Structure 1
Amino acid sequence: MNLLIDMGNTRLKWAVTTAGLIMAGPPLPNNRIDRDELIQLWKGIYRPRRIAISCVSANRLLELVQTVARGLWLDVDIILVKSQSQAFGIINAYQQPERLGVDRWLSLIATWHKYRSPACIVDCGTAITVDLIDANGRHQGGLISPGLTLMKASLGQGTEALPFSETKHAFALANYTEAAIYSGTLASAIGLIEHVLTKYPVTMRLILTGGDAELIAGHLEVASIVEPDLVLQGLLCVLEGHT
């Protein structure tokens, strides 16, 4: 058994794997991560053979996770995955390959391993990231935009009269402010994705992941595939040495 840990900007996701199957556990918001919470999450699982970690959150949280893991399972093998220039069938487009977010790198790996075709991969999380790969597994580069919650929060922080709200509303022209913000931010995300697909018209799969993936997918004019655990899938590919 292996333990996979995806430490994102707002929450920690994790899963155990046996025979190539991923069994996800309950996610933990970053603002709740402490020693006791992590022990509660993992004290009941069998000792993992290896632990693979993807981390884009604070270094102090990463250090805490590693400390707790070694406290629970002495001398466990911990693999902290980093972005590379080329590995697992993917060629990284970044001039400084290590600067590509490891979550994006793992999503590329997972998508290529599963589909082996041109793809547009969109992570709809705290940030919205868009990455393209071609038919040869060559990363074409990407885009980064604020995610839906971050867009709403920035309006609330940067203005006097625009309130922050996480309430869902009808996606339409609105006649009150909260609904206008909801639809405006959602339209921004949809427009970004559809603009990329229009600008790069090569036939490709559209893969969505992240917390807002289902919401955004439901309003796109193009077909998409939602893969909620794409980073965890990428971690499994790294552990299994898929090429």
Structure 2
Amino acid sequence: MNLLVDIGNTRLKWAMTEADRLVPGDFLANSQLSEERLKELWQSVPPPGRIAVSCVGAENTAELVCKAALELWPGAKITRIRSQADAFGVTNAYLQPEKLGADRWLSLIAVRHCYYSMPACIVDCGTAITVDLLDDHGRHQGGLICPGLRLMKQSLAASTAALKFDDARYDPGPANHTEAAIDSGVLTAAIGLIEHVFAAQPGNSLLILTGGDAERVAGHLAYRVVVDSDLVFRGLAIVLEEAV
């Protein structure tokens, strides 16, 4: 049994692998992370043989997680995931491969292994929206990044005196009050970005969405979409399996 840990910009998610299947655990907001909280969360977890950690948040957060894990399970082997130039069937397009976020790297690996080596447009709808393109030979074609839905709303509230932050959701389209207009605007911006990029891809490309807002965004896209909330976990599991 292995423990898979995905530390994002906003929260920590984790899962166990058990007989070739993923068993997800509860997530924790990064603002709530502490050694004590992690030990409480994991105290009933069977001791993992190996632990894989992906972190795009602060480095000290990953260090805290590793320390808590080793205090709970001193015999476990921890693997920190770093993006590479060429590994696990994927060639990284970045000029500095290590600068590609570990979560994006793991998603590329997962798609390459789990989706029949088809060309793909991979969209993570999280704190940031990232779009990565992968061809049918496993070559990363580069990517795009913009603020996520909540972050776009927060930036408007922080930069304008009259526009207040409202986390409510409304239907997209022309609105008759400001809160709905903002929500519709940021959602439509995300939809437009994804559809614009995907329209230029080969006809047999898959459109795969992951991240906290994936279900919402997917419901408004004009293309057939696969929503896979476990892409990063799948990538972590593949890295551990092939590293044995």
Q: What TM bracket, shorter-length normalisation? A: over 0.9
**1:223 paired residue number:** 224
Task: State whether structure 2 residue 57 is matched by structure 1 residue 57.
Answer: yes
- Distance in 2 separating the partners of 1:214 and 1:226: 7
Q: CA deviation at 1:145?
A: 0.5
Question: Which residue identity does 1:170 align to in structure 2?
Answer: D
**Number of aligned positions between the proteins:** 242
TM-score, normalized by length of structure 1? 0.98
Task: State whether structure 2 residue 74 is matched by structure 1 residue 68.
Answer: no
**1:148 paired residue number:** 149
**1:134 paired residue number:** 135
Question: Which residue identity does 1:18 align to in structure 2?
Answer: E
Offset from partner CA, 1:16-58 (integer Å, 9 cap, x none): 0012110000111111111221011110011100000000111
Q: CA deviation at 1:200?
A: 2.9
**1:21 paired residue number:** 21
Q: CA deviation at 1:135?
A: 0.9
Question: Which residue identity does 1:49 align to in structure 2?
Answer: G
Aligned residue runs from structure 1 range 75-90, under 5 A:
75-90=75-90
- Distance in 2 separating the partners of 1:114 and 1:73: 30
Question: Which residue identity does 1:35 align to in structure 2?
Answer: E
- Distance in 1 separating the partners of 2:5 and 2:211: 15
Q: Which runs of 5+ in 2 are unaligned?
A: none
**Structure 1 residue ranges (4+ consecutive) displaced by more than 6 angstroms after TM superposition:** none
- Distance in 1 separating the partners of 2:192 and 2:40: 41
1:55–1:232 distance in 2 versus 1, CA, 3 Å: same
Q: CA deviation at 1:11?
A: 0.4
Helix, strand or coil at the partner of 1:44: coil
**1:99 paired residue number:** 99
Q: CA deviation at 1:63?
A: 1.1
Helix, strand or coil at the partner of 2:174: coil
Question: Which residue identity does 2:238 align to in structure 1?
Answer: C
- Distance in 1 separating the partners of 2:60 and 2:89: 32
- Distance in 1 separating the partners of 2:94 and 2:131: 14
Q: Which runs of 5+ in 1 are unaligned?
A: none
**2:11 paired residue number:** 11
**2:190 paired residue number:** 189
- Distance in 2 separating the partners of 1:86 and 1:133: 13
Q: CA deviation at 1:172?
A: 1.7
- Distance in 2 separating the partners of 1:28 and 1:86: 32
Helix, strand or coil at the partner of 1:157: helix
Q: Percent same amino acid at aligned positions?
A: 56
Question: Which residue identity does 1:113 align to in structure 2?
Answer: H
Q: CA RMSD in A?
A: 1.0
